[in-house]
Amino acid sequence: MRPETQQFMKFIETKGLLFTTERKSVAEEVFSTHDHLDAEEVLKKLKSTGSKASRATVYRTLDLLVESGLVEKIDLGEGRSAYEHTAGHPHHDHLVCTVCGEVQEFEEPLIEQLQEWACEKAGFRAIGHSLNIYGWCAKCKLAVKA
């Protein structure tokens, strides 16, 4: 069991919930990669590894993972959302290729700072934010030129 899954177990038990095999398998799946997985991909992977976790349980457990703070839900636009774990993964935003679907990450601390100032100016208390840049990734740019 991965260390992040251990932490999730602690979270679940502290909350007075049961650390079931379904919850464990969803967590292990999410913590197994740094990719940006959507719920359906998690479900498919689980099915292929013999887990019998249902769609409803996958969604419910992803919500718990987000609540635990170990996983972040990101909005990739047009109704798509994805999950990624946060351990050793400082906050960042995303470049989304509208051709191949690739999601790249970028970090720009000054943007974060400017967002805070914008909120102060407006008397707005920020809880979270979503910044996506849509366009052509380097690979797809080349593919078109060729």
Residues at the contact surface with DNA, assessed by CB under 7 A: 12, 17-18, 20, 22-23, 38-40, 52-57, 59-61, 63, 79-81
Q: How far is the CB of 76 from DNA (least distance, A)?
A: 9
Does residue 77 belong to the site contacting its own copies (CB under 8 A)?
Answer: yes
Nearer to DNA, 5 or 57 (CB): 57
Contacts of 62 (CB under 8 A, 6+ apart): 26, 30, 39, 42, 71, 73, 83
Among 128, 133, 104, 106, which residue's Cα sits nearest to residue 115?
Answer: 128
Q: Give me the 76-115 binding string for Mn ion, x by CB under 5 A, dash otherwise.
A: --------x--------------------x----------
Among 125, 22, 103, 126, which residue's Cα sits nearest to residue 64?
Answer: 22
Q: How far is the CB of 84 from Mn ion (least distance, A)?
A: 5
Does residue 34 belong to the site contacting its own copies (CB under 8 A)?
Answer: no
